[in-house]
Amino acid sequence: MKTNIQIIALKKVISLVEKVFATKNVKRDIDIQAEIMKAAAIDYSSMTPEEIKKELRKAFCDDHTGKMHGIWSISTSCLANTRCLARMLNGESICAHCFSASMNGQYDALRVKLLRNTFLLNTVDLTPDMVPEIRVKSKMFRFESFGDLLSPLQVKNYFTIAEKANERGVICALWTKNPDIIDKAIKQYGLVKPTNLQIIQSTLKVNDAPASVEYEFIDKVFTVYDPEFIEENGVNINCGARDCSTCRRCYTAHDGIEYISEKLK
């Protein structure tokens, strides 16, 4: 049974996602409202820990190509995240260029999987026995390559998955534009950041890295720059861009805040 708050949040998601689809002129015939409602209707509370574990294993992505080849990840949907959707509609935000929104438009299976992941990670309080083995050869696991944090529970669940990954010497990295949700989760649940987790704050606007960060749990700041700004300001582009498993910068602990810069694609 959904609470009133969940119903209100779903209504907000649906009104925003429809605006995004209209504004971004999505050409394909996708019934996004029906897909969101279907994902939201899955009743995880009636599943056993073993069944949840199977669902979570299906939520992992272990077949990335391109830059993330060889790395495992888990992500939620930007199309079910009110902050992502609001930022996509804000021309000043880097999210106006969201590559994930276009990927969601192109690939049906990916879109459905990310929607399911959103409701799994934001409604189930994972215990360590619900987390499958993370046997990734590169020893690298990414949280969020297609969406962002939505609730403190999602943060708690990522910390639980990271702890499990640590048993196999896997380093995790979480990308977010919503560090306030991590702060809230740490306070709400009394969490301790796993030692194998790097937290990367993504800058909200192009060319706009903050001089400092608000939260001590942030390890790195990731900023995208446009070519003109790079040339005019001599920005050092230090994102390896082609292959994360060779570069590893985002997954490697650094003594202090590290600034990572990528060229706008």
Q: Which spans of this chain sit near ligand SF4 (rule: CB under 6 A)? A: 78, 84, 87-88, 95, 98, 100, 147-148, 177, 239-241, 244, 247-250, 260
Q: Which is nearer to ligand SF4, 47 or 204 (CB)?
A: 204
Q: How far is CA 230 from CA 94, 210, 222, 224, 236, in A?
A: 16, 16, 15, 10, 8
Q: Which is nearer to ligand SF4, 168 or 242 (CB)?
A: 242
Which neighbouring-strand residues pair with 225?
Answer: 263
**CA pair distance 53, 58, nearest whole angstrom:** 9
> What proportions of the chain, in percent to the nearest 5, are helix, strand and coil?
50, 10, 40
What does residue 138 show for φ and ψ, rounded to 5 degrees?
A: -70, -15
Q: Which is nearer to ligand SF4, 38 or 248 (CB)?
A: 248
Query: What's 243's DSSP letter?
Result: -
| Shortest reach from residue 4's CB to ligand SF4, in Å | 26
Q: Which is nearer to ligand SF4, 45 or 265 (CB)?
A: 265
The interaxial angle of helices 4-23 and 32-40, nearest 10 deg, is 150
Q: Which is nearer to ligand SF4, 64 or 248 (CB)?
A: 248
What three-state secondary structure class fits 167? coil
Alpha helices (H) along the chain: 4-23, 32-40, 49-59, 82-88, 99-106, 108-123, 152-166, 179-189, 227-233, 244-247
